[in-house]
A = this chain, B = another copy of it.
Amino acid sequence: MADVAGHLAGISLFRGLLRAQYEELSRIGVKRSFRKGERIFSEGDEGTGFYVVCGGRVKIFKVSTEGKEQILHLCGPGESFGEVSVFTGQGFPADAVAALPSTVLFFPRVAFSSLIRQDPALALNMMAQLSKRLRQFAGLIEDLSLKEVPGRLAKYLLYLSGRDGDETVDLDVSKGQLAALLGTIPETLSRILAKLNRLGLICSRGAQIRILDRRGLEEIGLEGKRLP
């Protein structure tokens, strides 16, 4: 129990709450662990509650009938997923699988729902979180429909390097997974990485990528581009 409470403070969904509220939450939260590749839920499963990532990484994705997958989001520690089911009561809208060995907190729908009813502040935090997610999705839709793959990759690399502030970034997922995140396939990703290397924009060695020409990468995302 105390263990659960220890995690709560780092969760954006619950930021700024009072001690009493944390105690309430820790009373209903259940810790669960998943091995790498283990499924947390499938699309259409009844939404009995929502999850928060404590450690590891969870992949949220959709699969087409032919097996192609589009990653909607990679959730790291402190991020939540499955909240939508709390309010719609419908099944989960996507699949969730542990991309790394992961531990999560599970909050049952019914218990959390009544908690929210007593506590407006909790609801406000949650709305801000949902709004943030909505904004991210709008960005993803924009990227998928307006930009081509090189632009999406460039944007992602800049995002990673911006976060770490460094010139050398580490892909925290396999290239196959990165391809799915960018809405493409491993072959295409591989070719584009090779092209960016050839142009001297980056220097990639496995999962390590050094950014050589930041300006150049930014341009790819903007204009109608041609990579020679």
Q: How far is the CB of A99 from chain B (nearest CB, A)?
A: 18
Decide: A135 and B72 in contact? CB cutoff 8 A. no
B residues near A141, Cβ cutoff 8 Å: 62, 70, 72, 137, 140-141, 144
User: Are B131 and A87 neighbours in the complex by a CB distance under 8 Å?
Assistant: yes
CB pair A62 B138 closer than 8 Å: yes
Chain B residues with CB below 8 A from A70, complex form: 141-142, 145-146
- The yes or no answer to A147 lying at the interface (CB within 8 A) is yes
Interface of A is mostly: helix
CA distance A65 to B86 in the complex (A): 38
Our pick among B72, B117, B222, B223 for the contact of A124 (Cβ within 8 Å) is B117
Residues in B whose Cβ lies below 8 Å from that of A147: 64
User: Which residues of B lie under 8 Å from residue A87 when comparing CB positions?
Assistant: 124, 127-128, 130-131
Residue among A84, A116, A141, A144 having the largest count of chain B Cβ atoms under 10 Å: A141
Contact A135 B88, CB 8 Å, known A116-B120, A116-B124, A127-B123? yes
- A87, A88, A119, A124, most chain B CB atoms within 10 A: A87
B residues near A117, Cβ cutoff 8 Å: 120, 124
Please pick, from B64, B120, B130, the residue contacting A131 in the complex, using a CB distance under 8 A: B130
A222 to B68, CA, bound (A): 12
Contact indicator B93/A138 (Cβ below 8 Å): yes
A2-45 interface with B by 8 A CB criterion: none
Chain B residues in 8 Å Cβ range of A134? 84, 130, 133-134, 137
- What mask results when residues 135 to 155 of chain A are scored 1 for a CB within 8 Å of chain B, else 0? 101111110111100000000
